[in-house]
Amino acid sequence: MAACFFERFRAEVARYAEGVHRLGPPAASAALVGVPAELADFLRSFDGAELFVDAFVIHPAAGLCRDEDRWIFGETATGDALCIGPGGAVLRVEADSGETLVEGTSFARWIEALCVAEAVLHDREGEFKEGVFDETGEELAPAASERRERLVLKLDPDAPAPTWRLARAVEQRGRASEARVLLERLVAGRGAFGWAWFDLARLRLADGDALGAEAAYASAADADPSYEHAGYFVAHAARVARMRGDEATRVRHAARARELDPEVVTSQKRAGEALLEEGAIDEALVHLELAAALAPRDVAVLELLARARAGAATPG
């Protein structure tokens, strides 16, 4: 395999003011024995880096950590771990949820796409540009997210997480059909992506494709049956089967949901009840309809569902 010299990365970081990026000196070759090839090539030039002030940190060779089949090589400012997984893909493990997202198909593609795409958000001084966040100030505005992910995908077209975020951004901007096409393509190439299947199911259902939505909800759980939300995913399949009047299929999905998560009925009932007390009727309905699809004879669930439906039917 030819060595990577990261020409695009070097050109991109040179565009910023001093201090926006801090790059370490070359690592000693002896410190890179066994390190994944592209990461080792990077560290031969820069033994560690802090990019966009401290938004992304690449550890020096001495700070690399091997965790089973992953190499932990860095972190984000929010504490998410950056890893190289089997096959060389770059993974981001979210600190707050433990979710693992495939951010890049290789280290070289990831880091060069990162530096190009972050220019959507940061000015030359490393400050955030005006208007890139939504009204909460915590999430990227859909337009900024769309621009960022499109730039990533120009350099790394098969990166799963950027494709998923692009689909969510274009859906938020009112282009649901485009989002569906993106997600159909994503799950066709990467079946083990539960949330992509889940979002595809939502869009299929909105398009009137109940059978397709039900299958996608079930596939969301199949992506990783050990995942903590797998039972929740199948509960949505049970809900769609109930909507279709297919009792045999509803029973099958309900049994699987409870097998994957024995507390799924209780958790959905409690969530629905809490939202109902807060006056969030539409959100409460979703949880209570899930609980009813799993336990259609649970009197407490049915009473709560009746209250929610009555609230939804009351004007104002």
> Is residue 39 within 8 Å of residue 84, measured between CB atoms?
yes
- Distance in angstroms (rounded) separating the CA atoms of residues 191 and 181: 15
Give me the residues paired with residue 3 across strands. none
Residue type, 190: R
- Distance in angstroms (rounded) separating the CA atoms of residues 76 and 81: 7
If you search the block for the tokens 């949901």, which residue do you land on?
Answer: 257
Cα distances from 158 to residues 98, 105, 152, 164, 194, in angstroms, run 23, 7, 10, 11, 17
Alpha helices in the chain (DSSP H): 7-13, 37-45, 107-117, 142-155, 160-172, 176-189, 194-206, 210-222, 230-244, 247-260, 264-278, 281-294, 299-313
Radius of gyration of the chain (CA): 23
> Is residue 271 within 8 Å of residue 248, measured between CB atoms?
no
The mean-pLDDT minimum among 104-113, 266-275, 306-315 falls in: 306-315
Per DSSP, the three-state class of 157 is coil
pLDDT in tens, 46-94: 999 999 999 999 999 999 999 999 999 999 999 999 999 989 999 999 9
296-303: average pLDDT: 97
At residue 292, the pLDDT reads 98
Q: What are phi and psi of 152, to 5 degrees?
A: -60, -45
DSSP-derived pairing of the beta strands 100-104 and 65-67: unpaired
At residue 188, the pLDDT reads 94
Instruction: Please count the other Cβ atoms lying within 10 Å of the Cβ belonging to residue 310.
Output: 10
Whether 105 has a pLDDT exceeding 90, the answer reads yes
Residue type, 176: A
- Residue 128: both structure tokens together: 């955030």
- Distance in angstroms (rounded) separating the CA atoms of residues 183 and 187: 6
DSSP 225: T
Whether 295 has a pLDDT exceeding 80, the answer reads yes
At residue 192, the pLDDT reads 85
pLDDT in tens, 116-135: 999 999 999 999 999 999 99
At residue 148, the pLDDT reads 98
pLDDT in tens, 163-221: 999 999 999 999 999 999 999 999 999 878 999 999 999 999 999 999 999 999 999 99
pTM of the model: 0.94
Q: Give Cα 91 distance to the centre of its chain.
A: 11
> Is residue 94 within 8 Å of residue 101, measured between CB atoms?
yes
Whether 1 has a pLDDT exceeding 60, the answer reads no
Whether 316 has a pLDDT exceeding 70, the answer reads no
Domains of the chain, residue spans: 1-137
Q: Which CATH superfamily is domain 1-137 in?
A: SMI1/KNR4-like (3.40.1580.10)
Whether 2 has a pLDDT exceeding 70, the answer reads no
> Is residue 156 within 8 Å of residue 113, measured between CB atoms?
yes
N-terminal to C-terminal alpha carbon distance within the chain? 65
Give me the residues paired with residue 70 across strands. 67
